[in-house]
Amino acid sequence: MPKARLTFEDINVTVTVPAGTRVIEISDKVNAGIVYGCREGDCGTCLMKVVSGWDHLTEPSVVEDRVLREHFAGRHFRLACQAQVLGGEIVVKPA
């Protein structure tokens, strides 16, 4: 199974995780500063900035896209509870 290296810039922690993992699952475990609410792509609390590796995340769903627009989130922002890693190197931090 492909693996991804996911770095949480705010706490300077990098972990190797299997493809398909949602960012929130890991940020929760390593105590990164990304906060969350619904975990269902609805509230927008888990907004994060993708510092690099944008291409190594799944595309936003229609639901996520709507929430991102509602929060006037720029192109490099994603919902941590929705974005899944695909592989490669990804760096994120709280929005």
Select from 6, 23, 36, 48 the one that contacts ligand FES (CB under 6 A): 36
Select from 46, 68, 85, 92 the one that contacts ligand FES (CB under 6 A): 46
Give the residue ranges of DSSP H helices in 1-95: 23-30, 62-70
CA distance 6 to 50: 11
39 binds ligand FES (CB under 6 A): yes
CA distance 43 to 41: 6
53 binds ligand FES (CB under 6 A): no
Q: Given the rule CB under 6 A, which residues bind ligand FES?
A: 36-39, 41-46, 67, 79, 81
